[in-house]
Amino acid sequence: MGNSYLRSRIILIIALIVLIPGLVMIIVLSMGGNAGDTEQAQRMRMQEYVDKFNQRNIDLIFYKKDPIVPDNLKARRVNALNDQGLAMNLYSDKAYHVIIFDDLDGSLSLNDQDIQKLKDLLINQHFRVVYLGTMHYNQLVQGEILNKGANHKDGTKTYLTYYNQNKMRSTVEGTAFADDPMMLPITSGLTDEQKIIYTVIVDLAHKDLYWT
């Protein structure tokens, strides 16, 4: 009786020694413990959005800034909104033109002449215009670049405006656009500014609505 009980205890202890590490590994993995693989998967998912964005054949323009963008994103910088600065003749093969005004730090300068040129790009050259920031919001509304929606909230940081296929100006802003990085597949190691820039790219890549 005593030997049988002892053997049972030994078998139980051996079983626990074998099973516990496996159970711990399962719990760790389910809680995201395999951080290397998770980060790699996130980067691969972000790259899928970048590839989809590039496949849309977009001329992506950043105005007066070179923000840190996802790897392999096709983009360029311009320092002036005139014909020479935009060099549109070099990008006539592009299906769409998107210009991003990154003013998240409040340092961007836009004068009335810039607003008029931007209005021409929006209406006559069918640009998609992205404004990131708060300082020039009222100026862009007064210049008829942005629509001030009934649900507009002070402090909104992201705006997209374009003319749709019905020749109506549409403005998408805030959490409906890129204020909330919920769709962003990767956030680790990104600054707040990068999170917004990355979210803009994801949203533009993901939604066909903006390109009809």
Q: Quick one: what percent of the chain has pLDDT higher than 70?
A: 83
Higher pLDDT, 20 or 190: 190
Long-range contacts of 92-97 (CB under 8 A, 24+ apart): 93/57, 94/57, 94/58, 94/59, 95/56, 95/57, 95/58, 96/56, 96/57, 96/58, 96/59, 96/126, 96/128, 96/211, 97/58, 97/59, 97/61, 97/121, 97/125, 97/126, 97/127, 97/128
- Please determine, for residue 61, whether its predicted confidence score (pLDDT) is greater than 60: yes
Q: What pairs with residue 128 in β-bridges?
A: 98
Mutual orientation of helices 35-55 and 192-206 as an angle, nearest 10°?
50
Name the pLDDT band for 32 (thresholds 50, 70, 90): very low
Name the pLDDT band for 35 (thresholds 50, 70, 90): very low
- Please determine, for residue 48, whether its predicted confidence score (pLDDT) is greater than 90: yes
Q: Quick one: what percent of the chain has pLDDT higher than 90?
A: 65
- Please determine, for residue 56, whether its predicted confidence score (pLDDT) is greater than 70: yes
What is residue 40's predicted lDDT score, i.e. its pLDDT? 84
Average pLDDT, rounded, for the chain = 86
pTM to 2 decimals?
0.81
